[in-house]
Amino acid sequence: MEFIEAIFNHTFMLYAFLACLLASVVSGVIGTYVVTRKITYIAGAIAHSVLGGMGIAHYFAVVNEWTWLHPLYGAIAAAVISAVIIALVSIRAKEREDSVIGAIWAIGMAIGLLFISMTPGYNEELMSYLFGNILMVNQTDLLLMVILDAIVIIFVFFFYNQLQAVCFDEEFARIRGVRTNLIYLLLLIATALTVVILITVVGIILVIALLTLPAAIAGRFTRNLWQTMILSSSLAVIFSITGLGLSYIANLPSGPSIIVVAGFFYLLLIISPRLTGSIK
Amino acid sequence: MNDNIEQKKRLIKIENVSFSYNKTKYDLVLKDVNLSVYQNDFIWIVGPNGGGKSTLMKLILGLIKPDKGKISVFNEKPVKARKRIGYMPQHVQLDHNFPVTVMDITLMGRLDKPIGIGPYSTEDKEAANIALKQVNLFQYAKKLLKELSGGQVRRLLIARALACEPELLILDEPTANLDRVVEKDLFEILKKLNEHLAIVMVSHDPAFVSEFVHNVVCVNQTVAIHPTSVMEREYIGELYGTSMRVVRHDKHQHEHEKRD
């Protein structure tokens, strides 16, 4: 109750609540593709490379006093660039994909850390990039999240059948006239935008969990992709709001609280086969 | 080939085609291949692993281009013609835990859209229903992929190939890991489809060929074509409870070895 009151009485709690909802929707939708197409590792690389973009944006914002340059703009740029590089490498030379993903993962972080150390002053924001601080979400962040959410949802709405076919059987989709390389590239870009949205909630390091755990749980109970998306988004809402409430009441960091709640349910599902109704 | 070859429409024409995956080395997978497939043909492509069977199919589907020679399908380039080909890949490539129903998968055969986006139309759904009926899977339309048996999965993949209302069906290993009874059911379906469709099928099970296969094409870098002949019918019939044809291709395999 105390938590629900807080949502209505404190603006920062209301913003945090809305951020959770916005993040949950895309987490469920894109997470479903990430899990079924098995590109978790790619999403991880994109997430970590984002620190590079945020570090550079923050550096120029401080040094050149470009106050308009929000770290999230840098995050979007870095995420999209990483997605494009990974997609191109994967289309051109399938066998090298793994090492390129690993390289992007590490190089992005390294660039970020270098720029953060070069930025004058005390950089407490570093911690909020890495682990997220949903209580610092402001109106600008929310507006940006709404725009990114809209882009991702519209994309999935129009390309649902093509995305499903590319994730299920890429070669067959190509023979049936689907531009599979383009669809894959767009899917990775949508994943990149989703990662940026989720970073504001749980931070770079914990993004993967919020992206994949709800979809992995949902996939066990659903019969097609849109059902998986709806269930997975609902689970993400439950996990993130529960985690947020927990962090508010117990005065804990919000990102880890959300992930612990999601992880708890996932493990519960794995160790109790009776719940899933299928024992293999 | 059959006697009335002159009246039959030629669907696939492969002329002197060579192909290698490694372009820098002289490492040919296929060498000077010639092959024609006609209307209502039922052709079984056999050969050892790595002999070039799958490569030949990928060439016909336009997924790869020949280094040398010419391929035309329906008198067009393969890339253009493939919308009229129904294709069934090897089922091992699929993720059987993918949350997707039999109907969803069949509809993937209807992805050819003028603008490339948007939902399926009523016609698409109608075509998918017809395809599912052709393989006796209509009552399973709402089942999940993981709820199907091995034989049902093959029939589903054939339905998906049929959904685009093709003029030619290309099947990659449709009978791999199936027992003889299920295999027989599958062949009954293919036999019926063959009444209005040409079928090209790859399999590395070269010993026994069902009685309605017209030609066996043996691929091992080069290509040899054998008309099927009825041999030892009683013996094999006893063994498998169905009439089969035997293809003797030990003779030309020796030729292959000499060439290598």
| Chain B: closest CA distance from residue A160 (Å) | 8
User: Which candidate from B104, B112, B120 shows the least CB-CB separation from A224?
Assistant: B104
- A265, A177, A168, A29: which is closest to B144 by C-alpha? A168
With 60 as the cut, is the pLDDT of residue A265 above it? Answer: yes
With 60 as the cut, is the pLDDT of residue B238 above it? Answer: no
Under an 8 A CB cutoff, do B112 and A164 touch?
A: no
- Least confidently predicted of A150-154, B83-87, B183-187: B183-187
A232-248: b or e for each residue (b if 16 or more CB lie within 10 Å)? bbebbbebbbbbbbbbb
Going by pLDDT thresholds of 50, 70 and 90, the confidence category of residue B240 is very low
With 50 as the cut, is the pLDDT of residue A279 above it? Answer: no
User: Which candidate from A175, A179, A219 shows the least CB-CB separation from B116?
Assistant: A179
- Separation of alpha carbons B53 and A18, rounded Å: 56
pLDDT given at position B227: 67
Q: Does any CB of chain B come closer than 8 Å to the CB of residue A93? A: no
| Crossing angle of the two packed helices A71-92 and A40-63, in degrees rounded to 10 | 140
- CATH code of A8's domain: 1.10.3470.10
Place of tokens 């106050």: A67
With 70 as the cut, is the pLDDT of residue A6 above it? Answer: yes
pLDDT given at position A210: 93
- Substitution target in A172, A276, A279 with the highest count of B β-carbons within 10 Å is A172
pLDDT given at position B204: 65
A window 8-37, beta carbon within 8 A of B = 36
pLDDT given at position B40: 86
Going by pLDDT thresholds of 50, 70 and 90, the confidence category of residue A276 is low
Q: Does any CB of chain A come closer than 8 Å to the CB of residue B28? A: no
With 70 as the cut, is the pLDDT of residue A13 above it? Answer: yes
pLDDT given at position B177: 78
With 60 as the cut, is the pLDDT of residue B229 above it? Answer: no
| Chain A: closest CA distance from residue B120 (Å) | 8
pLDDT given at position B237: 46
Under an 8 A CB cutoff, do A165 and B116 touch?
A: no
pLDDT given at position A4: 81
The answer to whether the beta carbons of residues B230 and B199 sit under 8 Å apart is no
**Residue numbers in B near A159 (CB within 8 A):** 117
Under an 8 A CB cutoff, do A176 and B164 touch?
A: yes
CA dihedral defined by B19, B23, B28, B33, rounded to 10 degrees? 20
pLDDT given at position A94: 63
The answer to whether the beta carbons of residues B109 and B192 sit under 8 Å apart is no
Strand residue runs (E) in A59-108:
none
- Separation of alpha carbons A27 and A197, rounded Å: 9
What are A219's two structure tokens? 């996939």
A74 vs B83, residue with greater confidence: A74
- Separation of alpha carbons A40 and B64, rounded Å: 29
Q: How many domains does chain A have?
A: 1
Domain layout of chain B by residue ranges: 5-93+166-259
With 50 as the cut, is the pLDDT of residue B1 above it? Answer: no
ipTM of the complex: 0.85
- Least confidently predicted of A148-162, B90-104, B158-172, B222-236: B222-236
pLDDT given at position A18: 94
Around Cβ A205, how many Cβ atoms within 10 Å? Answer: 20
Q: Does any CB of chain B come closer than 8 Å to the CB of residue A222? A: yes
**Residue numbers in A near B63 (CB within 8 A):** 171, 174-175
Which residue segment(s) compose the domain that A133 sits in? 2-276
Q: Does any CB of chain B come closer than 8 Å to the CB of residue A171? A: yes
Q: Does any CB of chain A come closer than 8 Å to the CB of residue B114? A: no
What's the pLDDT tens digit per position in A160-190?
999 999 999 998 998 898 999 999 999 999 9
With 80 as the cut, is the pLDDT of residue B107 above it? Answer: yes
| Chain B: closest CA distance from residue A161 (Å) | 7
Taking CB atoms and an 8 Å cut-off, how many pairs form between chains A and B? 79
- Which residue in chain A has the smallest CA separation from B62? A175
Tell me the backbone φ, ψ of residue B67, rounded to 5 degrees: -70, -35
pLDDT given at position B228: 62
What are A115's two structure tokens? 């720029």
* Rounded percentage of chain B residues whose pLDDT exceeds 90: 30
**Residue numbers in B near A175 (CB within 8 A):** 61, 63, 82, 85, 87
Q: In chain A, count H helices and then E strands.
A: 13, 0
A7 vs B131, residue with greater confidence: B131
**Residue numbers in B near A172 (CB within 8 A):** 87, 89, 108, 160
CA dihedral defined by A24, A29, A31, A32, rounded to 10 degrees? 140
Read off the pLDDT of each residue in B134-160 and give the average, rounded to a whole number: 93
Going by pLDDT thresholds of 50, 70 and 90, the confidence category of residue A69 is confident
- Separation of alpha carbons B229 and B211, rounded Å: 9
pLDDT given at position B245: 56
Read off the pLDDT of each residue in B103-111 and give the average, rounded to a whole number: 94
Going by pLDDT thresholds of 50, 70 and 90, the confidence category of residue B255 is very low
Read off the pLDDT of each residue in B97-108 and give the average, rounded to a whole number: 94
Under an 8 A CB cutoff, do A175 and B101 touch?
A: no
What are A101's two structure tokens? 């993903």
| Chain A: closest CA distance from residue B164 (Å) | 9
Under an 8 A CB cutoff, do B99 and A219 touch?
A: yes
Q: Does any CB of chain B come closer than 8 Å to the CB of residue A232? A: no
The answer to whether the beta carbons of residues B130 and B158 sit under 8 Å apart is no
- Least confidently predicted of A179-193, A264-278, B82-96, B140-154: A264-278
In CATH terms, the fold of domain B5-93+166-259 is Rossmann fold (3.40.50)
Under an 8 A CB cutoff, do B112 and A175 touch?
A: no
pLDDT given at position B252: 52
Q: Does any CB of chain A come closer than 8 Å to the CB of residue B160? A: yes
A27 vs A279, residue with greater confidence: A27
Contacts 24+ apart (CB under 8 A), B184-188: B184/B240, B184/B241, B184/B242, B185/B151, B186/B151, B186/B154, B186/B155, B186/B158, B187/B212
Going by pLDDT thresholds of 50, 70 and 90, the confidence category of residue A119 is confident
Under an 8 A CB cutoff, do B93 and A159 touch?
A: no
pLDDT given at position B253: 47
- Which residue in chain B has the smallest CA separation from A228? B99
What's the pLDDT tens digit per position in B168-195?
999 988 887 788 788 888 888 988 999 8
pLDDT given at position A8: 79
Cβ-Cβ contacts under 8 Å for A143 (sequence gap 6 or more): none
**Residue numbers in A near B104 (CB within 8 A):** 164, 224
Read off the pLDDT of each residue in A207-229 and give the average, rounded to a whole number: 93
pLDDT given at position B241: 47
| Chain B: closest CA distance from residue A196 (Å) | 26
> Which DSSP string do the residues of B199-237 spell out, in sequence order?
EEEE-S--SEEETT--EEEEEESEEEEEE-B--SHHHHH
- Which residue in chain A has the smallest CA separation from B162? A176
Q: Which of A213-227, B1-15, B41-55, B87-101 is modeled with the greatest confidence?
A: A213-227
Q: Which residues pair with B14 in a beta bridge?
A: B35, B71
